[in-house]
Structures are given as structure tokens and as C-alpha cells.
Amino acid sequence: MAVSKEDRYPVARRYQIADIQVSREATAVKPNVVANLIKKAKNPVLVTGGQLLKDEKLVEVAVKLYEKGVPVIATGGSSKPLIEKGVKPLSSVFTLHYVTQFMLDPEWKGFNNTGPYDVAVFLGFLPYYLSRMLSSLKHFSKITTISIDEFYQQHAKFSFTNLTANRELYHKMLDEVVNGI
């Protein structure tokens, strides 16, 4: 069965090719897989970063995920546009470093006291900043990490492919994730 041109996605390529200290690379996934992982999760969370301040589409996606029942942890300045749109983040005062340290603690019950998160979705981070945090979570926790940023994150369990050359396709994939939940 041939794959139509509309169903093809770019192959997974690292954003920074020098970042090779990876024992297991992320599985590049399509939006429907991300939506299914979020739907099946017992305690998912969306962690947002400062790039939301630069791209209104990322804010829109975070708001829609929140409206579909995915709690939000806002890091950096990402809380401001989310709060303005009616989102009530579980936390908005910690940096990604602190949030990662909390997630690494197996006895931590989460910001909402419902138990540890089983799926963490990351949106709106610079690639080199998120890469180090994902590496820690990959090696020292049981959390399933998903990067839905435009950069392929090899340290995540699942990641979109590198979509920096095609913002339109990236935004379309984000919409497919939201609509699939």
C-alpha cells in the first residue's frame, strides 16, 4: 500500500548533529500517536516553556489541551499568556530545572496531589535547554516523555521530527494532536 504525499512526514533528524551522547534515541511519532498516548495516560501533564511568548499558536494549543483535561505546569514566562486565556496552571513559579527535579523524585505526588505523572508532554522550549532535562528523566525516572516542539528531541521517549523548515506542517501536527484527544 502506497503512502500518500499528505501522510508523509520528514524523517527524524537531530536539530544539533553534534549531540551524540544518546544510548536510546526518541521514537519519531505522528500526531495521532501522541494523542493516543495522552488519552491512555492515567496522570498526564503538559509542561510549557518560554517559546509560548513568541508563538501564539503554541499558546492556543496549550489552552486547548488544558480544556481537554490535561493539567499544565507553566515554566518561565509561559504562565502569563496562559493565565490571560483562562488556564489555571498547577504551578507557574518554578523553572524547568526545578520541575525536572520534582519529577525525578519517585515519591513526589505531583502539584495536584494525584500521584506521580506517567506522561509528561513538553511544548515551547529551546532544544538545548530541554535536551538536558529529558536526558535526566530518561535515565532516572519511569515517566514517558513526549516532545511536541518543532525540534526533534533525541532524549525524549517520543518526539516530533525536526520541523524547523516547515512551520505550517508543525502547526498542522499540533492541531491533529489536539483534535485526536
| pLDDT digit string, tens, across residues 129-159 | 898 899 999 989 999 999 999 988 888 999 9
14 lies in some domain: no
Number of domain units in the chain: 1
85, 72 contact by CB (below 8 A): no
91 lies in some domain: yes
**Which triple of cell numbers denotes residue 77?**
514566562
Domain span including residue 162? 29-180
94 lies in some domain: yes
Give pTM, 2 decimals: 0.88
21 lies in some domain: no
The CATH number of the domain where 124 resides is what? 3.40.50.1220
Return the closest-CA partner of residue 171 out of 145, 150, 147.
150
Given this model, what pLDDT does residue 129 score? 86
164 lies in some domain: yes
23 lies in some domain: no
17 lies in some domain: no
5 lies in some domain: no
Given this model, what pLDDT does residue 14 score? 56
Given this model, what pLDDT does residue 21 score? 60
CA distance 58 to 153: 17
